[in-house]
Amino acid sequence: MSELGINGQVVTKRINNKTYIILKGNPGLRQVLRGTRYLASNPKIIKFAIGTQSVNRTIAKGGIVTLLITIPLSVVDIILQDSVTVGKIVGTISTDIAKVLVSAGIGSLAAMAIGAVTTLAAGPLIAAIFVGIAASVALESLDQKYGITDKLIKAIDDELNSLYNKTIGEFVRGIRQIEAVLEYQIRNGLPVGRGIFY
Amino acid sequence: MNKKLAHFILLTLDIGAILGAYIAYQHAVSTLSSISMGIEKIAFESSTLYYFFALIIPALHATALTHNDHTKNTKQTTIINTSLAIIVLVIISGKHMATNNIESALANANYKPCEHLNKGKFERATYKKQC
């Protein structure tokens, strides 16, 4: 904004399969972007988040940073609670990732749409930031209202319990049964292990 | 992106933004009326007011529609862009002012946030006169 001003305008053009960002206005008045056209992948353009491609890269970086902050915080929050289950950790992290991805996607979509209809340089970035915030709040609100995270946690816990019963639980029950038979055989003076080992 | 598709996406986002702003407005109004009626338990979710931020999309869309491609960098463009900047500032400050006003109204009516009744990662404060 400080470089291009409130009225800063950019046009995205595709020439020979390369996307160029053409900056409107007097280049002499700019401090850093002193050229008139740059490749969309130019580091200066990416640094200033000009054009849809740069905004999308910024959104992707922001999403990764958000996940790097959110996931450890969620894990610590769960660990500090009274009851910690695998379902709670996996379910919470999964929905957190989904929320970040969906809100970043909506922000990116808004930025692309704004970038396609206006030449305003700051337009895509403003759209991505504000729509992203509104979308993430809306997703959190929907999660709270419909209890999606809670349902997912319950489903994971139920599935893990059922899996435990079918595998380790079944094995433990088998061992206990053998133990009971051996104990009965020892107490009653019967040949130990007959019917089980031979 | 194709311009028609972009306008369609923006129209969908416009509807969503207006709906979101209406929800935020209703939440603010219902909270204020609950305070005036002296209801025992009030759930005020300040994060709901972030829906006002989505109003930037209709503003940007309107700016894009009013821009005349044949008259670039004219006085008209400057006025439109300055208006957009003012709208963005008004939306941001409006959201914060609304949140502060409601929270101070709750405090003036002796409502206190009850931490143990809170839900969610965002602020979802439940206010009561006695927790």
SS3 annotation, B70-98: CCCCCHHHHHHHHHHHHHHHHHHHHHHHH
pLDDT digits (tens, 9 = 90+) for B32-53: 888 888 888 888 888 888 888 8
By CA distance, what is A110's nearest residue in B? B10
Strands B112-113 and A18-23: unpaired
Give all strands (DSSP E) within chain A, no chain letters: 10-15, 18-23, 37-39
B45 CB within 8 Å of a chain A CB: yes
d(CA A54, CA A30): 19
| Statement to judge: residues A182 and A137 lie in one domain | no
CA A56 to chain centre: 15
Which of B30, B52, B36 lies closest to B105 in space, CA to CA? B36
Of A110, A116, A143, the CB nearest to B3: A116
| Statement to judge: residues A93 and A137 lie in one domain | yes
Cβ <8 Å between A117 and B50: no
Residues of A in contact with B122 (CB under 8 A): 137, 140
| Statement to judge: residues A159 and A180 lie in one domain | yes
Q: What is the structure's pLDDT at B72?
A: 57
| Statement to judge: residues A109 and A176 lie in one domain | no
A27 CB within 8 Å of a chain B CB: no
d(CA B117, CA B131): 9
By CA distance, what is A74's nearest residue in B? B121
B70 CB within 8 Å of a chain A CB: no
How many structural domains does chain A have?
Answer: 2
| Statement to judge: residues A183 and A117 lie in one domain | no
| Statement to judge: residues A93 and A130 lie in one domain | yes
Residue A156 in contact with residue A163, Cβ under 8 Å?
no
A125 CB within 8 Å of a chain B CB: no
In a domain, A4, yes or no: no
Identify the domain containing residue B11 by its residue range: 3-128
Q: What is the structure's pLDDT at A5?
A: 62
Confidence label for B15 from pLDDT (cuts 50, 70 and 90): very high
CB interface of A with B, residues 168-197, below 8 Å: none
B106 CB within 8 Å of a chain A CB: no
Q: What is the structure's pLDDT at B64?
A: 81
| Statement to judge: residues A172 and A84 lie in one domain | no
B131 CB within 8 Å of a chain A CB: no
B64 CB within 8 Å of a chain A CB: yes
Q: What is the structure's pLDDT at B124?
A: 62
| Statement to judge: residues A93 and A154 lie in one domain | no
Q: What is the structure's pLDDT at B22?
A: 92
| Statement to judge: residues A132 and A156 lie in one domain | no
In a domain, A180, yes or no: yes
| Statement to judge: residues A105 and A154 lie in one domain | no
- Tokens 């209801």: give the residue: B39
Q: What is the structure's pLDDT at B118?
A: 64
The ipTM, to two decimals, is: 0.78
Residues of A in contact with B1 (CB under 8 A): 52, 112-113, 115-116
Residue A5 in contact with residue A12, Cβ under 8 Å?
no
User: Distance, in angstroms, between B62 CA and closest chain A CA?
Assistant: 10
Q: What is the structure's pLDDT at B116?
A: 66
A148 CB within 8 Å of a chain B CB: no
d(CA B92, CA B86): 10
Residues of B in contact with A113 (CB under 8 A): 1, 5-7, 9-10, 13
CA B60 to chain centre: 15
Residue A96 in contact with residue A169, Cβ under 8 Å?
no
pLDDT digits (tens, 9 = 90+) for B76-113: 777 877 888 888 889 889 888 998 888 888 888 888 87
Identify the domain containing residue A108 by its residue range: 10-146
Q: Identify the sign of the CA torsion B57, B61, B66, B72.
A: positive
Structure tokens belonging to residue B39: 């209801």
Residue A19's DSSP bridge partners are: A14
**Domain stop point among A146, A161, A179:** A146
How many structural domains does chain B have?
Answer: 1
| Statement to judge: residues A24 and A84 lie in one domain | yes
- The per-residue pLDDT string of chain A (198 residues; one tens digit each, 9 = 90 and over) reads 556 665 667 777 788 778 787 877 777 777 777 777 778 777 777 766 676 777 777 788 888 888 888 888 888 888 887 778 888 888 888 888 888 889 888 888 888 888 888 777 777 888 888 888 888 888 888 888 888 888 888 888 888 888 888 888 888 888 998 899 889 888 888 888 887 777
| Statement to judge: residues A97 and A194 lie in one domain | no
User: Is the per-residue pLDDT at B123 higher than 60?
Assistant: no
